[in-house]
Every structure is written in C-alpha cells, then in structure tokens.
Amino acid sequence: MTIKLAKIAIIAGDAELAEHVCSRLRTPGVYLPLVEAPMMRLVEYGVFEQDCVRVANTIRNLDVRTILCLKVPQEVMENLHRRMPNLELITIGAYDETQLQKLIRLQPVAIKSKNLILESPMRCIEDVFVVEGNEFDLAGVIAANLAVAHGGRTVFIDTASDDDDDFVQEHARSWSNDSFEEKQRAKGALIDFLQSRLPAGLLASRTIKSVSFITRGLPYGILPFHCPTTHFFSFPLLGLNVLAGMLKSQELFRCPITVLIDPSLVGQSEFATLHETFGKAGYFLRSALGQNATAKDASFLTSYLPSDFVFYSTHCGEVKGQRVVEQFPDRKGNLHTLCYDRVLSGFHSPTESTTDLFEITTMRSWISIDGVAWSDDGKKKEIGAGELIKDYLDYCRNIRRGRIKPDLISVTDSGTVRDSDSLAMCSLSYQPLPHVVGSGHFPVVFNNACSSWRALAIRFSCAGASVYVGTSTDILNSVGILVASRFAKESTSGRTIGSALHRSQKKLTAEFGFTPYLMNGYLYTKLGNPSLEQRDLRVQNRLADTIRALSRLPDSHGTSAAKKYLKDELRRFLNVRIRI
C-alpha cells in the first residue's frame, strides 16, 4: 500500500485541539503528520534538547508548506523556531474555524476519530489500529490519522497499568528462563492475559488486513494473528516513530549498506545466506564476523554508520551485575541512602588520541531509597524519590567539586539484573543504549537473538530505527536461520517489511500457537533494491555528510571517536571499491 504525506504538519501540545483540527484535514490515502510537542522533561540532562532536535529534524525532512503548532508552550516554540529558522510555524491556541480557513484549506466534512471505531472485527477487511487509551489522547489522534490514510479502523482498549506491565514482563522472563513446566505455564498465562484485553473476534478474524498496536509496550503481537502485526510505543514522541518508517521508504533516507554482526557464538547462522541475498540485491555489505564482531564495532556500526539494514546474530539476555549501597547528599546537604543494581559495559575507544581511552556505559536499576522500595509508588511519592534521584545524578556529575565525598557502603554481586538485556559479542557484551541508530537514516534492525524484543525494542525505536524486529522468547537456532533468511529474501523481492516478516514466519506461528518474531514500526515500510549505478557514490556521500554533521557538533570525546570511526569506514569502503 502506498500513501502520500500531506503538505501540512502538526506539532501538538493538546490532544483535544489536535483532534478538532485533524478531523477537518484528514484525507483518504494521505497521512497527516502529527508530532507531539517536546515535553519539558529532564531538561538538565539534555533530554528536552534531544527531543527538540529530533522533532525539528523530522519536520525539516517533510515536504510541507504549513506547520501548525497547537497549544505548544512558548519555551518549546522558541526552541523549535531556533532550529527551523526558514520554516513558518503558525501558533494556534484554540479551535477557530474562520481563522483556520484563512490559513489552510479545510475538508468540507469532518472525519472524526469516534466515527472510525471498529464495530465488528469479524466483518472487517481493513487495516486496524488498536490503541491503549481513547480518541482524545494524542496516540488516538495519530491512530485516526493512520486509519484514514489507510482506509482502516481504530479500536480503543483500556490502558495497561503498571501491574499489567509487571505481570507480562515476569511471565515473559519465566517463559524464556525457567524449567519446561514453568515455561509452559508462563506462556499460557501470558497468552490468555493478552487475549483477554482485546475485543472478541479480533484475534479470530481471517479478513483483517493488518493490526498495528499503539501501547505502553505489551506484546500483543505474540498472539497468533492471521495477518501482519506491528507495535508502536506510546512514548512522548510516538509521531516520530510512525514517520520514521514512511521517511525510510523515500530515497532521501536510503543508504544501501547492510550491516551484518555475528560473533559466531551460536554455531551455524544465517550469515552466509544474508551475505548472498543482500549482495545479489545490490547492497554494500559491512560484515563484522567472529573475532571482528566486538562490542566497539557493534556499538559504532549500529549508531553511526548510515545503513538500510542492521542484522545481529548472537545470544541475548539479562546479565549479572553488582548491588551497590551508598550515601549521597541532596541539594540541601542532607544525607540519603540509595541502593541499586549496576551493570557496566565498555570497550576501547576508537579516537585519534594517543591516550588509551576506554568507553564505559553504566546501567542502573533502582532498588530502594532511604529504605523505601522502588516498587512502592505511594511511599516514593511521599519522600519525593524522583527529586532525590535527580539530586543523586547531579551529585555524581559534580562529585569532584563537592565538599561531601561519596560514602560507598557496600558493593556485592547482585546476580542477574532486570532489563539489563545485552548482546554477546567477541570477548565483551554489547549493551544497546543507543541515542541514535544509523546516523539518523532510520535503518531496519533485525535482532536475531533470544528474547530480543522484550527490553530492546523500545531502546532501538526511541533511537530512530524505522523498524525493529526481535524475538518474543527463546528460539531454536534452526528457527532463527529460517526466519532471517526468508525475511531477507522477501524484503529484497519488493515486499513491505511487515509483509516480509509475516510471510517469513506464518507457518511457524500456526505450528507454535504464538508468533516467534515481533515487529515495532510502520508495517508498510518498503525498501526497493539499490541502483548499482548510484550505489557507490551514494554510500560515499552519506558517510561524508555524516562526518561533516558530526564536525558541526560541539567538540567532545564522543563525537571525535565517531568521526574517527567513520573516516576509517570511508577508507575501507573506497579500498573495497578500488579492488573490485
């Protein structure tokens, strides 16, 4: 299915106003881009700035004539204006049809979200968009825009609670890690729970074209649907995640490189088949195999190399860490006791510096603060745990300048740390916590490792992957080889990514009673095979553009390491072309 992008983009700070405006702009066959206004969140840690950059970059890459900003806070508007000086941002504080008619052409008949709600799943022959929430959430408005563009329908279900999420996470872990009997019980309980949250008939329907879930993260796609399914996370910038897949289908964001990362730890793998399939399709191949598949290469190839596809073939799972107990002062100087689990990962930095530098990533999983369990939301609120954590992080950043020195009470082995999912590489594990993937070129990431969807899907999606594919639980090596190989052949034969994945595992889903591989991202993302005449020059230009973009950033160790790495990649590419 091919849809057009509207010449209007909307940045919304208010869902109800967004629904009123969108209802008069929706057009069948045309997607109306709606992006949530960046929230003033974690400003001191740069998160707000990063969100503004992502929103501005996406809007600039849309071929739009009009940008409507609906109830966007002044400070956010000023930040976006600064990043889009050549584009006119029109501020609207309330719905005024007369004013809107002067600015843009409205549709004569409103297409309201409430009129798109699916009545009978068993009679549906359309794309369905299932949303946790209601039509006046921004997620619901985005779903309605998608439904109109695709001639589809929407379904609204109750928002999952924290307890629901914990239930799913714990049963997913048990399904992956426990004994056979416990795995079967966990699998049954998980599938029954997910199905109970959906309307009757949705799973059983054999006529629905596709189902897209917009949720807090529950993996509804595990259920054995008869059609392609995908997920979107309703995190603060859902609209960007939707647009990533649409933009990736355009030539501007294509970079005909397929990255294959395989440390040769799983015996036989799909590496040879992927190499042959993508090579014949015209892609330039960047392989990190065996001893060359290091944590450093996995990190930098994933984050900074412009690419169309990234494949991992390795082990995935939660890893062991350390239980740390320490005291720290808050902003008033009062001492508090913090307990957390810590996982460290790292590698030698590829910088041009003569100093031997090592890059360290630290993941912390909070256990308690001042004796209050992190799972106790009520008591955490009473003691102001959120502000105390901010004080702790500020203290860590300024520890050398503080008068009160750290008081490390204890460090012990913690065992396996929850949500510490890492990918096994040669010698050291790679814990994916990327800020960006593919240097902003929205690659399709296929993580062919056990239980690789559970914790990693949201990380890659937040970092800009157009599509992320991971496994719902542990899989046999033979299944991994089969699905990945079929997916590569289907994707390079002209099918959309959603259809390619569905066809690759359709028989297995029917046989197993659950879906082995889950997808996050736009189902109709489609990557045509590259033109051989333009391939080499395009890759060289993409790499050179990325190096120049990094050079414009404030100088820091991180950007200098990335530039050094990409310069080596550019030389590698040129040498390969000369030899051929």
Cα(81)–Cα(87) distance, rounded to whole angstroms? 8
What's the length of the chain? 580
What's the pLDDT tens digit per position in 370-392? 999 998 889 999 999 988 998 88
Tokens of 357: 């530098």
Q: State yes or no: pLDDT of 509 exceeds 90.
A: yes
DSSP state letter for 34: E
- Listed residue (264, 295, 254, 261) closest to 275, CA to CA: 261
Lowest-pLDDT range, 31-35, 250-254, 569-573? 569-573
By CB neighbour count within 10 A (0-12 exposed, 13-18 middle, 19+ buried), where does 332 fall?
exposed
pLDDT of 572 reads 83
pLDDT of 354 reads 53
Cα(565)–Cα(296) distance, rounded to whole angstroms? 10
- 127 DSSP β-pair partners: 210
Question: Where does the pLDDT of residue 555 fall: very low under 50, low under 70, confident under 90, or very high at 90 and above?
Answer: low
What's the pLDDT tens digit per position in 84-131? 988 889 999 999 988 888 888 899 999 999 999 998 888 889 999 999
Share of the chain above pLDDT 90, in %: 62
- Listed residue (501, 521, 341, 550) closest to 443, CA to CA: 521
Q: Are 10 and 21 in contact (CB under 8 A)?
A: yes
Question: Where does the pLDDT of residue 297 fall: very low under 50, low under 70, confident under 90, or very high at 90 and above?
Answer: very high
By CB neighbour count within 10 A (0-12 exposed, 13-18 middle, 19+ buried), where does 325 fall?
middle
Higher local confidence (pLDDT), 107 or 573: 107
DSSP codes, 137-195: SHHHHHHHHHHHHHT-EEEEEPPPPHHHHHHHHHHHHHHHHS-HHHHHHHHHHHHHHHH
- Listed residue (257, 311, 255, 253) closest to 286, CA to CA: 257
Mean pLDDT of the 153-168 span: 93
What's the pLDDT tens digit per position in 416-454? 898 889 999 987 889 898 889 999 999 999 999 999 998
Question: Where does the pLDDT of residue 551 fall: very low under 50, low under 70, confident under 90, or very high at 90 and above?
Answer: confident
What's the pLDDT tens digit per position in 449-502? 999 998 899 999 999 999 999 999 998 999 999 999 999 999 999 999 999 999
**Average pLDDT score, the chain:** 90
pLDDT of 403 reads 54
Query: What is the set of domains in the chain, with CATH numbers?
Result: 4-111 (3.40.50.11230), 238-316+424-579 (3.40.50.1460), 320-416 (no CATH)
Question: What three-state secondary structure class fits 67?
Answer: strand
Q: Are 303 and 434 in contact (CB under 8 A)?
A: yes
- Listed residue (423, 478, 222, 422) closest to 313, CA to CA: 423
Cα(403)–Cα(393) distance, rounded to whole angstroms? 16
Q: How far is CA 67 from the centre of its chain?
A: 25
Backbone torsions φ then ψ of 98, nearest 5 degrees: -60, -45
What's the pLDDT tens digit per position in 224-280? 999 999 999 998 889 999 999 999 999 888 999 999 999 988 877 888 899 999 999
DSSP codes, 215-257: ESS--GGGS--SS-EEEEE-STTHHHHHHHHHHHTSGGG---E
Neighbours of 292 (CB within 10 A): 14
